[in-house]
Amino acid sequence: MKRLPLAALFLALGALVTPMLAQNRNVATRIGFVDADALVQAHPDYKKVQDVQAQAKKELSPLEEKLKPLDQKMRAGQASAKERQDYDALLKTYQDTLKKWQDRQNQVLKPILEDVDAAIAKVAKAQGFAVVMSRQVAAQSGLVVYADEDTDLTQAVIRELKR
């Protein structure tokens, strides 16, 4: 019977054991939560979003005030042909204006959301979290019924955003 040299035996064992060791390495398994709204509002550029919202409100409010009485007449079935026509035109103007302001707000929000996502990822990775969920979505969906307060990363992410 032929014997394998001791070094060859260790190499063969190493080849067998190495994949098992790789599977047993420390992998982040913690699940964390954040208050997504609080993170967006804590971003240094959130004032820009508020400015866009204020401008939108300033332009949309007069349109809403004109729409309310016409809407009531339409619902009650008491609108004249002229009022129905005015209502349709005003509603179209309102919807177009609303879309314009939503698009502007989304443009301002995009880099903020990207920063928030990056900060969440950085904090989660540093603290060993594998998954981070929105606390509001988890609560509303019923997906999570209990979460320890130690899993809330909101304040740590806010600190990261302010760096």
- Per residue in 4-36, pLDDT (tens digit) is 444 443 444 444 444 544 555 566 689 999 999
63 touches 90 (CB < 8 A): yes
Which class for 46: exposed (0-12), middle (13-18), buried (19 or more C-beta within 10 A)?
middle
- Per residue in 102-144, pLDDT (tens digit) is 999 999 999 999 999 999 999 999 999 999 999 999 889 988 8
Domains of the chain and CATH, by start = 26-161 (3.30.910.20)
Token reading at 39? 């993170």
Which H/E stretch holds residue 96?
Answer: helix 81-127
142 dihedral zone (left: phi>0; alpha: psi -120 to 50; beta): left
**pTM exceeds 0.85:** no
